[in-house]
Amino acid sequence: MTTNQKPFKRILLTGAAGGLGRILRERIKPWAEIVRLSDISDMGAAQAGEEVVQCDLSDKAAVHALMKDVDVVLHFGGISTENNFEAIMRANIQGTYNIYEAVHQAGVKRVVFASSNHAVGFYKTTDYIDANSPRRPDGMYGISKCFGEDLSRYYYDRFGIETVCLRIGSSFPEPINKRMLVTYFSYDDLVEMLRCCLFTPRVGHTIAFGMSDNPASWWDNRYASHLGYQAKDSSTQFAHKFPDNGDYPEKDDITTIYQGGGFLLTGPQYI
């Protein structure tokens, strides 16, 4: 491969119409001749270097077709907030199974799976955990992310398909509450992390936390050290928006006791 070429011939990005999908659509173009975009929603017209394929991930045949000639997959598709279980099961459980079985059949070598901090949201905000800490999902959404992590582990152990499960923190333009000063993951850092996930020669099956270089942290990325990810951004620049105050939360306020924050207040019975 000469340096004139882009590294990959074709990247598949699922969830391309979602919040992060729209960001990534712009940012990952340098990595592939063609970016194939997929979502259940409308993604607009294909731009240069793009292929647009509307697809319900719970449709197995469609997903297998989607995988044709793909080198690597950024699997950001599915439901990305708490929802009723059946919807999550269809989109995130059936859907992720379809992705992996298609990956396996198509001979794709590597996947980045958009997991979530909500796979471990029931740790306390005074805990400090790493990728080997037992999971503590904080809802149906988090449970579906645990499923994806287990599923991808299986496909690695059994078939050698590499995956980085990226437990994304809060990837937004900026933190919108105090909690996000801890979990903030800037778009630039997200893109840099994805670059590391795709271009590290070997990643095996890695669970990494997606966060910027924020002052406070609940997550130790030691088991992702081989990725070489180095955050450039920090939530510090936004700290002034949430000035210090002495209004401590109530002792039984679970949204501040546990890392999952507001997700804790949602649950299967409320939806």
261 binds a copy of itself (CB under 8 A): no
Measured CA distances, 66 to 72, 98, 106, 134, 239 (Å): 12, 11, 10, 34, 43
Q: How far is the CB of 55 from a copy of itself (least distance, A)?
A: 18
Give whichever of 44 and 215 is closer to a copy of itself, judged by the CB atom: 215
Binding residue for a copy of itself (CB under 8 A) from 28, 89, 106, 194?
A: 89
Which ranges of 9-109 does DSSP label H, i.e. alpha helix?
19-27, 60-66, 85-88, 95-106
- The values of phi and psi at residue 97, to 5°, are -60, -45
Give whichever of 22 and 257 is closer to a copy of itself, judged by the CB atom: 257
Give the active site residue among 141, 155, 229, 258.
141
Site for a copy of itself in 214-253 (CB under 8 A): 214-218, 220, 222-223, 225-230, 243-249, 251
> CA 73 to CA 83: how far, in whole Å?
25
Total binding residues for a copy of itself by CB under 8 A?
A: 87
**Helix crossing, 19-27 with 187-199: angle to 10°?**
60
Q: How far is the CB of 72 from a copy of itself (least distance, A)?
A: 7
Query: Would you say the C-alpha torsion 197, 203, 209, 212 has a positive or negative sign?
Result: negative
Task: Identify which range of 46-54, 62-70, 73-81, 126-134 contacts a copy of itself by CB under 8 A.
Answer: 126-134
CA 168 to chain centre: 5
191 contact partners, CB below 8 Å, separation of at least 6 = 24, 27, 28
Radius of gyration from C-alpha coordinates of the chain: 18
Token pair 């396996």 in the structure block, residue: 104
Binding residue for a copy of itself (CB under 8 A) from 55, 72, 99, 165?
A: 72
> CA 14 to CA 66: how far, in whole Å?
10
Q: How far is the CB of 189 from a copy of itself (least distance, A)?
A: 13
DSSP state of 122: T
Site for a copy of itself in 170-209 (CB under 8 A): 178, 181-182, 195-196, 198-206
Q: How far is the CB of 51 from a copy of itself (least distance, A)?
A: 17
4 binds a copy of itself (CB under 8 A): no
Binding residue for a copy of itself (CB under 8 A) from 18, 24, 97, 116?
A: 97
Q: How far is the CB of 42 from a copy of itself (least distance, A)?
A: 28
Q: Is residue 141 annotated as part of the catalytic site, yes or no? A: yes
48 binds a copy of itself (CB under 8 A): no
The residues annotated with a catalytic role in the active site are 141
